[in-house]
A and B are shown apart, each in its own frame.
Chain A
Amino acid sequence: SQQGEEDPQALSIQEGENATMNCSYKTSINNLQWYRQNSGRGLVHLILIRSNEREKHSGRLRVTLDTSKKSSSLLITASRAADTASYFCATGPQRYNQGGKLIFGQGTELSVKP
């Protein structure tokens, strides 16, 4: 079963604009991760934020985590056409004996127009 919801489901922006995607989840987590998928291929890990962190940066990516609201956001600044992809959040379990499996959100399909 899916862990939570992502919104928007689809986002279309112009090159140079910022893109913000949101993710909500239901259960306690150890960490939250964001992935990118191009054209139905394998997923690429973008960034991991632990439950005791509130914000993390990696290049043009900025991730926030609010455990009180069980939500996270991914901001891509100065977007490029190459950022066009589907973006998924995924949560890791709070307890190791839950098997370390990731539970994925529904995903946001981002289209960046040149």
Chain B
Amino acid sequence: SAVISQKPSRDICQRGTSLTIQCQVDSQVTMMFWYRQQPGQSLTLIATANQGSEATYESGFVIDKFPISRPNLTFSTLTVSNMSPEDSSIYLCSVDTGSYGYTFGSGTRLTVV
């Protein structure tokens, strides 16, 4: 199965600023997925990132708020823009490893003050 390096692991940010989260995979993958986990909640898919094309966003999530880059088959970034306290969550990236299920990054715990 794949190994994902996600960073930063946590950050405390001022409202109105932006934070970029990075995920590096140790193998080439077609799709990468970005999830948000609000405090005490389950995971909600933000978007699917494909290399060479625009990311596909789920209902309730927009590119201006969560721009995604996917410059190659092993790397992706998610930016949380113009942050407010409501954006305080854990953000996770993941990839599909087939029969082994999905591999997740260790998560970025974001607190907006």
Q: Is A48 an interface residue (CB 8 A)?
A: yes
Instruction: Let me know if A106 and B6 touch, CB within 8 A.
Output: no
What residues of B have a CB within 8 angstroms of the CB of A16 in the complex? Answer: none
Instruction: Let me know if B102 and A42 touch, CB within 8 A.
Output: no
- With A45-B101, A99-B56: A104-B42 Cβ-Cβ less than 8 Å: yes
- A2 CA / B36 CA spacing, docked (Å): 12
Chain B interface size band reads 20 to 34
Encoded as 1 (CB less than 8 Å from any B CB) or 0, chain A from 31 to 49 comes to 0010100001111110110
Chain A interface size band reads 20 to 34
Encoded as 1 (CB less than 8 Å from any B CB) or 0, chain A from 88 to 114 comes to 101000000001111111110000000
Instruction: Let me know if B6 and A42 touch, CB within 8 A.
Output: yes
Q: Is B25 an interface residue (CB 8 A)?
A: no
Instruction: Let me know if B42 and A42 touch, CB within 8 A.
Output: no
Instruction: Let me know if A33 and B48 touch, CB within 8 A.
Output: no
Which residue from A33, A47, A100, A103 sits with its C-beta under 8 Å from B31? A100
B106 to chain A, nearest CB (A): 4
- A109 CA / B90 CA spacing, docked (Å): 17
Listed from nearest, the 6 A-B pairs whose CB atoms lie closest are: A45-B101, A42-B106, A43-B104, A42-B104, A104-B43, A104-B42
Give 17 pairs: A residue, B residue, CB < 8 Å, sorted on A. A2-B44, A35-B101, A35-B104, A40-B107, A41-B107, A42-B106, A45-B100, A45-B103, A47-B101, A48-B99, A88-B43, A90-B102, A99-B56, A101-B45, A101-B48, A102-B33, A106-B42
